[in-house]
Copies of this chain bind each other. A is one copy, B any other.
């Protein structure tokens, strides 16, 4: 039998709710990957990605795989055997970066911060001073595993001061909080489609600065991955005549185009403001229900609310009830945080007043508490665009 999924509200760490226009775009008739009409669409997607990333980088395109493939594309192209990389670890994805650096033959100098905290610029400055051989600084802008937001602008400035390039994970930040690739001078940046772009999972937008592109061109060893070698991929995604590299995921590109188009139509600043004000409302409601945040004020992602599960709550059972009785998905914790925190997403199309209400109402029912909705409502009325 054909599969008929239930209609969930996706407020976990991603995938998040997909915009209905994006779902409609997905099922448009498939074109050939070298069809001139599709090639024109590729150009539009690149231009829209430049807007979303706030960059004029020519090497800006979607990798034909999930965010993890985008991460590895950045690492595999920039890291050669023997390259020293300062890697900031304050959650699951920093740790993943470290493993990838080592699998590419690089040496990782790890800067550890507690899970739930932002990356410490002081520690990074110390590590860069202590390791003058370092050529790259790698960090996560928005840690999806903890809800912590790091100061990408300051970290990038430190890297530049020490002559390092940056690899920056913006999987959860793109479209949700301010991200200015050119103004901040970020070098190799990757993201995902399934968070604040309101597109299903499956693609990973990347952008490389001229410095990063030059580094790839000046490598003395081949990129270990043929699939991810951006020099080869740009034969297809670059300018001029398109050479076959792999068959592009045509329908997913339609979806990404529509998601980016909607983001541009709304405006980046408006989208960032929407995420901020919905977060304020959700936060008021969650705190009224007895939740407290993992990340301290000032280091929190509005679009990913990681909160301690209140004492006495059986978290797995409660989450299962949210799903089964309210069709609401929220996320559990990863690693040491499993069973201890919940991750409540407000990303892209999922970041709407009705979702804040739905989430708080469902939590009230499942936890047998009250006051959350009442605390959020005034902030929803004021702040969040419908």
Binding site for B on A (CB under 8 A): 1-8, 10, 12, 14-15, 17-18, 21, 23-33, 35-38, 41, 44, 64-69, 71-72, 76, 96, 99-100, 103-104, 192, 194, 200-202, 222-227, 244-252, 254-255, 257-258, 261, 323, 329, 334
Contact = CB atoms under 8 A, between A and B. Distances in A.
A166 to B, nearest CB: 20
A69 B233 CA distance: 13
B28 A5 contact: yes
Nearest to A28: B5
A44 B226 CA distance: 31
A25 B2 contact: yes
Contact of A250 (B103, B201, B248, B257): B201
Nearest to A258: B2
B27 A26 contact: yes
A255 B252 CA distance: 12
B258 A67 contact: no
A144 to B, nearest CB: 10
A72 B30 contact: no
26 contacts: A2-B21, A3-B41, A5-B29, A5-B254, A6-B31, A6-B37, A8-B29, A8-B30, A8-B31, A8-B32, A14-B247, A18-B251, A26-B26, A27-B27, A33-B201, A65-B69, A66-B246, A67-B246, A67-B247, A68-B245, A71-B227, A104-B224, A200-B250, A201-B249, A202-B250, A202-B252
Contacts of A245: 68
B224 A103 contact: yes
Contacts of A250: 15, 200-202
A100 B226 contact: yes
Contact of A247 (B15, B76, B254): B15
A26 B224 CA distance: 33
Contacts of A200: 30, 249-252
A33 B15 contact: yes
A193 to B, nearest CB: 9
A326 to B, nearest CB: 13
A94 to B, nearest CB: 14
Nearest to A68: B246
A5 B31 contact: yes
B8 A35 contact: yes
A247 B3 contact: no
A244 B334 contact: yes
Nearest to A6: B37
A10 B32 contact: yes
Contact of A202 (B17, B29, B249): B249
Contact of A72 (B17, B28, B225, B244): B225
Given A65-B65, A104-B224, A226-B96, A24 B23 contact: no
Q: Which of A2, A24, A64 has the most C-beta atoms of chain B within 10 angstroms of its own C-beta?
A: A2
Contacts of A252: 200, 202, 249, 251-252
A26 B251 contact: yes
Contacts of A192: 247
B3 A30 contact: no
